[in-house]
Amino acid sequence: MLKSAKIVRPVDANGRVVIPKHLITDVLKAGPDEHVSVEVMYTDDSIILKRFQHSCTFCDSCDDLKEFNGIRICPDCLDKIKKL
């Protein structure tokens, strides 16, 4: 279910907006040293913030990733590669 929260924050002289900490920690479940991705929807002037999750290089799955030389891969793609 889509939930929403509306906050109004000022834009500073450098064009930055501070997002309240509770939205980052409680809604995005992101903590210190984690990353947040920013998705800008140009057609409707919206910005979507998401907790960054590593994903499979080949299919974008985030499940049960293995890493080899900096490349993350999911079990399905790994199986497909093994069959090549």
Whole-angstrom distance, CA of residue 55 vs CA of residue 47: 21
Structure tokens at 29: 């479940």
51 contact partners, CB below 8 Å, separation of at least 6: 28, 29, 30, 34, 35, 36, 37
CB of 79 to Zn ion, least distance (A): 10
Closest to Zn ion by CB, 28 vs 78, is 78
CB of 11 to Zn ion, least distance (A): 39
Binding site for Zn ion (CB under 5 A): 56, 58-59, 61, 74, 77
CB of 63 to Zn ion, least distance (A): 9
